[in-house]
Structure 1
Amino acid sequence: MSFLNTLATSTSSSAQPTSAASSTATMSSAPVSLKGDIQVADAPTDSVSGLAWSPTSDLLAAGSWDSSVRVYQVAPNGQTRGVAAYAHAAPVLSVAWSKDGSKLFSGGCDGAGRMLDTTTGQAMQVAQHDAPIKCVRWVETPRGGLLATGGWDKTLRYWDLRSPAPAAVIQLPERLYTMDVKYPWLVLGTADRHIQIYDLSNPTVVFNQSQSGLAMQTRVVSMGDGVYAYGNVEGRVQLTWTSPSDPSAKHQPFNFKAHRTRLPNEPATSYGSVVWAVNDISFHPLYTGTFTTCGSDGRILTWDAENRTRLATFEPAGAPVTATAFSRTGALLAYAVSYDWHRGHAGNTPDVPSRVMVHSCRDDEVKPRHAAK
């Protein structure tokens, strides 16, 4: 492979729908240490907006507010080296790989969707919106692969890479904030708390549309096997099964508190707490139902969806964790520590770090536990 560097838990404090039950998560004991985690070389110089591992190799992509997309080769022990980079004309908001790992896609505030061909090392523009592109994802359909882009121009667009014009343009109810794909579903969240699901056998028609089960703005949505999770700005997460095989209460939608900090001297039964935005959610590629959440509180948490249990709490990273991503085997977890703008422009001080870290996962951090009999 050749590259060309071209860089120039859970009582609601707000009203919740009656269809979504709240669930209490069990906390693990000692926090997971970050001391052995490895920092990637040549990290972005501004906030990291997205991370994505290649589905076929140990390549990690990072998109940043410094307008760059950088690609790192990651060894099994976590050691890294930069192998490629390219630039947008404005901050990058999302990165994603094609199914075969031969192409890397990105979208940004310049309204452009760009692609790096890893076989030739060439970067080129392949998509365009009338406003910033918030999310890019590769979509497999019965008719072949497409690039899906969603933007603040209130559109979802599909692109056949052989044509400069979009294959389809779908009008959304509001600006797109988040999107994820796991065949046969595409799930997205927009402003005003709209959640839409598309069946990729008919990708231009809304399969289901609903209002978020959480009271505040949706920030991230992520898909696992038969389940999707979304988090909001008040530190809550909701889980919903796309096609529940078990119609019992176990697979009914439920939500819980994830990133909350109890105020000093407040009793455990008090509602007094500081709420933090959920910045990203990542499902484990092998352990079905295991997922991470990360937030403005600088913490990463791992969860077991089936047993409604918290598996592990990571030590504070010292600044917001803006993005996470599991490697294709699930052995490594990449995470970004950088400013997430939760305190506005005034909070973006020079002492806020911008780094990408690689953590080697232990089974007790990510493996589901058997439910008690």
Structure 2
Amino acid sequence: MSSYNRPGASASNEAPKDYEVPHGPSDSVSGVAFSPVADFFTVSSWDSCVRIYEANTTTGTAIGKALYNHDKPVLCCAWSKDGTKVFSGGADNAGRCFDITSQQVGQIAVHDQPIKCIRYIENHNLVLTGSWDKTLKYWDMRSSTPVLSVNLPERCYALDFSYPVLVVGCAERHVQIYDVNKDPRTPVKSLISPLKWQTRCISTFLSRSGYSIGNAERECTGYAIGSIEGRVGIQYFEEKDSQSSFSFKCHRENNHVHAVNAISFHPTYGTFSTAGSDGTFNFWDKDSKQRLKGFSSIGGPITSTTFNSNGTIFAYALSYDWSKGLITQPPRSAVFLHAVKDEDVKPKPPKKR
């Protein structure tokens, strides 16, 4: 959408000077996730490991705290709401839980094919897994069989959850929206993505007031969806005069179009980041339809991003994302911590035309 100030004018892009997390993965990073209650974060990787770090907000550094393994590449990671457990899923078709207090790990889920997405479902104390076997499964960690199994129209590629709304992006551009309180089996809406190419990432968002009051009254009002074609769609569940769904181009340079690999919403302001195969990340305001801040390329694709609980740290992963197929020298894998400046993520009034 032309009303966005899109990347392209390199003079406005700042080169990130960020802290590299030590002892990082030896293969591509599939996920980075911050604890919702502390400055601990987890990194899942194709080297079959899940690493847990503690970030020091005073010094801007991080230290490794724990590591556990899957039998094959790890494709996703998430935290429990209280920050005591880490969940992960992988190409070994297994979901695992690591207890921060006891340092014990155990298998809590299984699918017929790799687990691509995992989330903790608050208020129900369940873990949700989404798989390439075209199912969602809800797990009580005390049982080896799922509480509920839900069939999807296609393979699960991406999902996000803001209680009680679950949005799932599948192959062939299918999007399924559920209300887990009303009926987790049947989607409230079954849609085709507004974007014309394969879905890469989905992130739900709250109403602006939901952020400003500290999420005390969470109202999930829509989701952002990113595709391999350098485009993001902002989709509202209910269309109103003051807010209508739209899409915009990003992560494009001249004639080169790059995948949007990650979208993360700021926990305080409700603005959001995008990161892509071009190695750049940007901060945006969907309400005023403008880019707030752009950063130049870090030299390789960014595969995952996350904000910490108060939005002062932005973590992102440098990794090869297979956007160019098999290559002889993929970029190294690393995770960086970016100190977020308030002026870079705070909403701004719409530009005058």
SS of the residue corresponding to residue 184 of structure 2 reads coil
Amino acid aligned to 1:158: Y
Give the Å deviation of 1:102: 0.8
CA RMSD of aligned residues (A): 1.3
The answer to whether residue 227 in structure 2 is matched with residue 235 in structure 1 is no
Q: Of residues 63, 80, 85 in structure 2, which corresponds to 1:98?
A: 80
Contact 2:318 2:335 in 1 (8 A): yes
The answer to whether residue 251 in structure 2 is matched with residue 259 in structure 1 is yes
Q: What residue number does 1:203 align with?
A: 184
The answer to whether residue 38 in structure 2 is matched with residue 46 in structure 1 is no
Q: What residue number does 1:220 align with?
A: 201
Give the Å deviation of 1:150: 0.3
Q: Moved runs in structure 1, 4+ residues, more than 4 A? A: none
Contact 1:106 1:136 in 2 (8 A): yes
Residues in 2 aligned to 1:85 and 1:252: alpha-carbon distance in whole angstroms? 44
Residues in 2 aligned to 1:57 and 1:275: alpha-carbon distance in whole angstroms? 37
The answer to whether residue 73 in structure 2 is matched with residue 82 in structure 1 is no
The answer to whether residue 344 in structure 2 is matched with residue 339 in structure 1 is no
SS of the residue corresponding to residue 97 of structure 2 reads strand
Residues in 2 aligned to 1:274 and 1:40: alpha-carbon distance in whole angstroms? 30
Q: Of residues 334, 343, 346 in structure 2, which corresponds to 1:355?
A: 334
Q: Of residues 238, 261, 274 in structure 1, which corresponds to 2:256?
A: 274
SS of the residue corresponding to residue 364 of structure 1 reads helix
Give the Å deviation of 1:148: 0.4
Give the Å deviation of 1:27: 4.8
SS of the residue corresponding to residue 365 of structure 1 reads helix
Q: Of residues 143, 146, 154 in structure 1, which corresponds to 2:126?
A: 146
Residues in 2 aligned to 1:356 and 1:233: alpha-carbon distance in whole angstroms? 22
The answer to whether residue 32 in structure 2 is matched with residue 25 in structure 1 is no
Contact 1:27 1:311 in 2 (8 A): no
Residues in 2 aligned to 1:317 and 1:34: alpha-carbon distance in whole angstroms? 7
Give the Å deviation of 1:243: 4.0
Give the Å deviation of 1:205: 1.8
The answer to whether residue 298 in structure 2 is matched with residue 317 in structure 1 is yes
Q: How does 1:31-70 map to 2 (within 5 A)?
A: 31-35=13-17, 37-70=18-51
SS of the residue corresponding to residue 12 of structure 2 reads coil
TM-score, normalising length: structure 2: 0.92
After superposition, the C-alpha distances for 1:304-363 in whole angstroms (9 at most, x for unaligned) are 010111111112111001111000000000000110011112x2515x121000000112
The answer to whether residue 157 in structure 2 is matched with residue 165 in structure 1 is no
Contact 1:140 1:200 in 2 (8 A): no
Question: How many aligned positions are there?
Answer: 333
Residues in 1 aligned to 2:95 and 2:117: alpha-carbon distance in whole angstroms? 9
Residues in 2 aligned to 1:222 and 1:313: alpha-carbon distance in whole angstroms? 20
Give the Å deviation of 1:241: 1.6
Give the Å deviation of 1:159: 0.5
Residues in 1 aligned to 2:101 and 2:185: alpha-carbon distance in whole angstroms? 31
Contact 2:51 2:68 in 1 (8 A): yes
Residues in 2 aligned to 1:274 and 1:24: alpha-carbon distance in whole angstroms? 21
Residues in 1 aligned to 2:319 and 2:351: alpha-carbon distance in whole angstroms? 39
**Which runs of no fewer than 5 residues in structure 1 stay unpaired?**
1-9, 11-22, 263-272
Contact 1:339 1:348 in 2 (8 A): no
Give the Å deviation of 1:34: 1.3
Contact 2:6 2:250 in 1 (8 A): no
Residues in 1 aligned to 2:69 and 2:258: alpha-carbon distance in whole angstroms? 31
Contact 1:285 1:328 in 2 (8 A): yes
Amino acid aligned to 1:304: D
**Which runs of no fewer than 5 residues in structure 2 stay unpaired?**
207-220
Contact 1:112 1:132 in 2 (8 A): yes
Give the Å deviation of 1:107: 0.4
Q: What residue number does 1:118 align with?
A: 100
Amino acid aligned to 2:233: Q
Contact 1:298 1:317 in 2 (8 A): yes
Contact 2:303 2:321 in 1 (8 A): yes
After superposition, the C-alpha distances for 1:29-52 in whole angstroms (9 at most, x for unaligned) are 6323312x1111110000000000
SS of the residue corresponding to residue 172 of structure 2 reads helix
Residues in 2 aligned to 1:165 and 1:116: alpha-carbon distance in whole angstroms? 19
Q: What residue number does 1:268 align with?
A: none
Contact 1:90 1:108 in 2 (8 A): yes
SS of the residue corresponding to residue 341 of structure 1 reads coil
TM-score, normalising length: structure 1: 0.87
